[in-house]
């Protein structure tokens, strides 16, 4: 009798250890060597960086395997996926936004304000960032020109959209804005809306603005 209760205690103890181990191992990130960063997201970030020129070396921390510690990169501490990317530079950083950012499928917040993107057009793939689930986008004073791509209207979870100080950008048809039903902050100072026919209507459509 005493022997079997002893055995029961051992079995229970082993079960507890097993459950504890399972919990710990399932909480571990899916990458080896204790890094949080997801390798394909790290590669995407490096490719994004390769599209930029950074003479002041503001992105010097962007090396090594742990991309979650790089300047401006925030990962989910549960999954390791990059959720926030913020690269602002007082126009020290120039270059282009590469579509490798689409690999950051869990991105919620992108801030690329105050960089010099050389008066190119805003790339249309921006409307697919974070699989279209981006919540915050800031491209203020980032030196883009031309038409604001209506593809931004595909970012249906967008809560804030900041496109200030783009003196050479314009939007003639703001129907895409009315598709952003969750929008709470919209700023487009200096964007030429003079020939936008429908902007009051588009903005009145938004319940949270
Ligand atoms: C994970 O992040 C949340 C919020 O960002 C924080 O409150 C929490 O302490 C973090 N957990 C760990 C284990 O770092
Ligand atoms: C996003 O929006 C644009 C224009 O508003 C549209 O042409 C395009 O097909 C959309 N893309 C996706 C993936 O829904």
Q: Is there a contact between 101 and 129 (Cβ–Cβ < 8 Å)?
A: yes
Tell me which residue of 153, 156, 152 sits closest to 139, measured CA to CA. Answer: 152
> What gap in Å lies between CA 153 and CA 53, rounded to an integer?
30
At residue 5 the predicted structure's pLDDT band, cuts being 50, 70 and 90, is low
**3-class SS letters over 106-141:** CCCEEECCCCECCCECCCHHHHHHHHHCCCEEECCC
For residue 2, is it within any domain?
yes
CA of 110 to the centre of ligand 1 (A): 20
Residue nearest to atom 3 of ligand 2 (CA): 151
- Based on the domain organization, do 197 and 110 belong to the same domain? yes
For residue 209, is it within any domain?
no
For residue 127, is it within any domain?
yes
Q: Of all atoms in ligand 2, which is nearest to the CA of residue 151? A: 2
Q: Which residues line ligand 2 (CB under 6 A)?
A: 127-128, 150-151, 153-154, 176
Beta strand residue intervals within the chain, DSSP E: 52-53, 73-75, 82-86, 94-95, 109-111, 136-138, 145-147, 160-162, 168-170, 185-187
> What gap in Å lies between CA 81 and CA 167, rounded to an integer?
34
CA of 102 to the centre of ligand 1 (A): 25
Three-class SS state of 26: helix
Residue 21 in this model has a pLDDT that exceeds 50: no
Q: Of all atoms in ligand 2, which is nearest to the CA of residue 176? A: 5
- Based on the domain organization, do 60 and 134 belong to the same domain? yes
- Based on the domain organization, do 79 and 137 belong to the same domain? yes
Nearest ligand to the C-alpha of residue 74?
1
In the numeric block, which tokens belong to residue 91? 């126009």
Residue nearest to atom 12 of ligand 2 (CA): 154
Residue 2 in this model has a pLDDT that exceeds 70: no
The residues, any chain, with a CB within 8 Å of residue 166's CB and separated by 6 or more, are: 139, 140, 141, 142, 143, 144, 145, 188, 190, 191
Residue 155 DSSP code: -
Residue nearest to atom 6 of ligand 2 (CA): 151
Residue nearest to atom 8 of ligand 2 (CA): 151
Instruction: Give the domain range for residue 17.
Output: 1-30
Give the residue, 68 or 23, on which the prediction is more confident.
68
Which residue in this structure is represented by tokens 């100080």?
165
Give the total number of structural domains in the chain. Answer: 2
> What gap in Å lies between CA 6 and CA 28, rounded to an integer?
33
Q: According to the model, what pLDDT value does residue 168 have? A: 87
**Count of all residues that appear for the chain in the document:** 209
For residue 145, is it within any domain?
yes
- Based on the domain organization, do 79 and 18 belong to the same domain? no
CA 5 to chain CA centroid, Å, is 56
**Each residue's pLDDT tens digit, 100-152:** 999 999 999 999 999 999 999 999 999 999 999 999 999 999 999 999 999 99
Nearest ligand to the C-alpha of residue 80?
1
CATH of the domain at 79: 3.80.10.10
Which residue in this structure is represented by tokens 């487009």?
188
Residue nearest to atom 4 of ligand 2 (CA): 151
In the numeric block, which tokens belong to residue 64? 């090594």
Residue 26 in this model has a pLDDT that exceeds 60: no
- Pick from 125, 154, 178 the residue to mutate for probing ligand 2's pocket: most ligand atoms within 8 Å of its CB: 154
Phi and psi, residue 95, nearest 5°:
130, -150
- Based on the domain organization, do 13 and 87 belong to the same domain? no
């Amino acid at each position: 009798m005493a022997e079997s209760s002893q055995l029961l205690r051992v079995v229970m103890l082993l079960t507890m250890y097993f459950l504890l181990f399972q919990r710990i191992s399932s909480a571990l990130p899916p990458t080896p060597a204790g890094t949080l960063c997801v390798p394909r997201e790290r590669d995407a970030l490096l490719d994004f960086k390769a599209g930029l020129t950074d003479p002041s070396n503001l992105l010097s921390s962007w090396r090594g395997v742990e991309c979650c510690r790089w300047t401006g990169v925030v990962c989910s501490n549960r999954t390791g996926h990059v959720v926030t990317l913020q690269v602002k530079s007082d126009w020290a950083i120039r270059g282009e936004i590469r579509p490798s950012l689409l690999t950051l499928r869990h991105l919620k917040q992108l801030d690329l304000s105050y960089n010099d993107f050389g008066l190119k057009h805003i790339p249309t793939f921006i409307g697919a960032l974070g699989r279209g689930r981006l919540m915050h986008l800031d491209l203020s004073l980032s030196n883009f020109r031309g038409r604001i791509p209506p593809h931004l209207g595909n970012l249906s979870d967008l809560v804030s959209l900041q496109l200030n100080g783009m003196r050479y950008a314009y939007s003639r048809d703001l129907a895409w804005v009315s598709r952003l039903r969750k929008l709470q902050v919209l700023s487009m100072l200096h964007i030429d809306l003079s020939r936008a026919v429908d902007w009051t209507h588009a903005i009145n459509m938004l319940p949270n603005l």
